[in-house]
Structure 1
């Protein structure tokens, strides 16, 4: 089935969050960035916002030490922070305006989706993603038939990273980078599947 069959598109919403600790609640999401892609790597729209920290939350010591080593990224995620009760409803409205079904994509999805879903439900009362997310490393594991560890970023072929923007630890920059990476992987997998299908047709 093609992406636009019946007028229904999946829009891959590559998302990166920056935080001051490992879990939401005790710690805060500092920044969120999402880049919405079609499967052909067309960048449809972007969303980004910095958030005020949660009351009674605090920074994790190891995360605070990381931010000390990234002063430019820290400054970027603390610029003009907004209350999460404003940011997350605005994010929901943005997601609902996308021209298709939003699919949450991240690397690793377990971390970024945990924060995003918690904040969506806490401050917007809903998740347009429902409870689902697409983890790029898991997708690579299935596509290559490799182990999970051997499907990580350091094991991915360099051709998937051609012309990607740099990884800056700024949420929107990293969301754009990871979305382009996912689209490169998706395109190669689809080309391979088409070639396999053509070959199998010849054998019939």
Structure 2
């Protein structure tokens, strides 16, 4: 019998647009089953890469988000230590981890790069599920027109988007599970 998919909603915070020249400051994952059961979370704030520096535009944005910046700089861990613990956490989930992001291209790029650099492998393999693309397919809308403010309110729970990685990973995981339920409900009716 195949192991079930575990949807790992992940959010990252960085000091620039790409990994390597810039650092992932903070990341968090919330592991959900398809029925919206939260199995657990993982979060870490990371020390910056020694060869990297903050991008001026990103750092200007951070200046407007002092509480989120402060949250991302508490209890920093060495990336190798954090990514090894994260990989172990992913491998111990009771199913196959599926990376879920909003936008997946940005968050996955950092997580994948850090996993490969510091652990040599990724439990997600080479793929990620993008919530915006999934919503586009569900709603029958154009990609650029598919944004949170145009999605059904019934998909959302009362939780703020704080730019604190763990808060945002849980918020986005709940949103994804609502989308998944909508899709499965439509299949049973059709």
Q: Name the TM-score class by shorter chain.
A: over 0.9
Aligned residues: 190
What's the offset of the Cα at 1:164? 3.8
The yes-or-no answer on 1:54 pairing with 2:36 is no
After TM superposition, list the pairs within 5 Å mapping 1:69-148 onto structure 2. Answer: 69-148=64-143
Q: SS at the partner of 1:151?
A: coil
In 2: Cα distance, 1:86 partner to 1:126 partner: 14
Aligned to 2:184: 190
Cα distance in 2, alignment partners of residues 41 and 110 from structure 1: 23
CA RMSD of aligned residues (A): 0.9
* Max Rg structure: 1
Question: Residues 74-131 of structure 1: CA distance to partner in whole angstroms, max 9, x if unpaired?
Answer: 1100001111010101100000000000000000000000000000000010000000
Name the counterpart of 1:175.
169
Runs of 4+ with deviation above 3 angstroms: none
Q: So what's the TM-score if we normalise by structure 2?
A: 0.98
Q: Deviations over 1:106-162 (max 9, x none)?
A: 00000000000000000010000000000001111122222111222222111111x
Distance 1:21 1:7 in 2: 39
Structure 1 unaligned residues grouped into runs of 5+? 1-5, 197-204
- TM-score normalised per structure 1: 0.91
